C-alpha cells in the first residue's frame, strides 16, 4: 500500500508542476518540499514473491527489460518485509477516500484503473511484481502469514496459471482481491500478445461457472 497522506499532501505541488507553473530552476525547492511531505520511513507498496512467468507478453517491461535471474523470494526476507508493512487505519483511509471523491474528483466505484488504484491499492499490500504469483509454490503460505498480521493482500495474475482450486485456496488464506488479466477473447490474438497458447475463453468460463456454483452465487 502507498503513503496516502503523501499522495494527498503533495497534490497541490503536483498540480503546479503538471500545469507548468514551475520551472527547471525550481528543482531544489520542489525537492525540499517533497522531503517535508514524505514520511521518514519507507512504505512497502508491493512484494514480488517470484519473478518467474510462463508468458512473454509483448507489452510487458519484464519481457523487454528484465535481466535478473528468476528466483523465489527468501522466506526470511519475506517475513522481515511484512513485519515492516504499515497498515492504514480505517479512519485515515476514509478521510483519504472522502478527499479523493470530493476534492480529487475521482469516483471510487468507477470501473477504471484510477478507481481500482484509489479504492483497492490504497488499502492492500500488492503481492506481484515482475512475475506470475501463482508460480510461487509458497504463495498460499505467504498470504496466510499476511492475514495473521492483519495485512490485506491483493495480486494480479493470468487466467492461464489460475484454477478454481488455486483461486479458492488463495481466498481462503485471506486474499482480499484477486485480479486477472485477459488480453483478448480470441486465442489467436492471445498467442500474438503472450506468445503462449492457452484456451482463454474456455478457462475463464470454467472458472467463473465453477466458482458461481460452488459459492451458490445464483
Q: What is the contact surface with ligand SF4 in residues (CB under 6 A)?
A: 53, 55-57, 60, 62-63, 130-132, 158, 194
Residue 139 to residues 10, 45, 120, 184: CA-CA distances in angstroms?
35, 17, 20, 27
10 vs 51, beta carbon nearer ligand SF4: 51
122 vs 158, beta carbon nearer ligand SF4: 158
Report the distance separating Cα 151 and Cα 83, nearest Å.
10
The upper half-sphere exposure of residue 53, i.e. CA atoms within 13 Å in the direction of its Cβ, equals 23
Nearest to 168 by CA among 211, 139, 120: 211
59 vs 218, beta carbon nearer ligand SF4: 59
88 vs 159, beta carbon nearer ligand SF4: 159
Least gap, CB of 154 to ligand SF4 (angstroms): 15
Nearest to 158 by CA among 188, 211, 196, 189: 196
Report the distance separating Cα 47 and Cα 199, nearest Å.
29
Assess contact for 47 and 113: CB atoms under 8 A: no
Which H helix or E strand runs over 157?
Answer: strand 153-157
Within 10 Å of residue 1's Cβ, how many Cβ atoms? 22
Least gap, CB of 57 to ligand SF4 (angstroms): 3
Least gap, CB of 171 to ligand SF4 (angstroms): 21
Least gap, CB of 85 to ligand SF4 (angstroms): 23
80 vs 137, beta carbon nearer ligand SF4: 137
Alpha-carbon radius of gyration of the chain: 20
Least gap, CB of 163 to ligand SF4 (angstroms): 16
Least gap, CB of 64 to ligand SF4 (angstroms): 9
Report the distance separating Cα 114 and Cα 180, nearest Å.
17
106 vs 156, beta carbon nearer ligand SF4: 156
Amino acid at each position: 500500500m502507498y503513503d496516502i497522506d503523501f499522495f494527498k499532501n503533495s497534490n497541490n505541488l503536483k498540480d503546479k508542476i503538471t500545469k507548468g507553473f514551475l520551472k527547471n530552476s525550481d528543482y531544489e525547492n520542489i525537492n525540499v518540499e517533497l522531503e517535508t511531505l514524505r514520511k521518514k520511513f519507507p512504505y512497502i507498496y508491493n512484494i514480488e514473491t517470484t519473478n518467474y512467468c510462463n508468458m512473454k507478453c509483448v507489452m510487458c517491461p519484464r519481457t523487454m527489460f528484465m535481466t535478473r535471474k528468476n528466483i523465489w523470494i527468501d522466506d526470511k526476507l519475506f517475513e522481515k518485509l511484512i513485519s515492516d508493512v504499515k497498515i492504514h487505519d480505517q479512519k485515515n483511509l476514509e478521510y483519504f477516500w472522502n478527499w479523493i471523491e470530493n476534492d480529487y474528483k475521482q469516483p471510487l466505484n468507477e470501473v477504471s484503473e484510477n478507481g481500482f488504484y484509489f479504492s483497492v491499492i490504497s488499502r492492500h499490500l500488492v503481492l506481484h511484481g515482475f512475475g506470475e504469483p501463482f508460480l510461487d509454490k509458497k504463495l498460499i503460505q505467504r498470504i496466510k502469514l499476511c492475514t495473521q498480521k492483519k495485512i490485506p493482500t491483493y495480486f494480479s495474475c493470468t487466467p492461464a496459471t489460475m484454477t478454481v482450486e488455486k483461486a479458492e485456496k488463495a481466498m481462503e488464506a485471506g486474499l482480499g482481491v484477486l485480479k486477472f488479466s485477459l488480453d483478448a477473447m480470441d486465442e489467436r490474438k492471445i498467442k500474438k500478445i503472450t506468445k503462449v497458447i492457452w484456451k482463454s475463453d474456455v478457462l475463464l468460463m470454467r472458472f467463473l461457472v465453477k466458482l458461481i456454483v460452488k459459492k451458490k452465487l445464483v
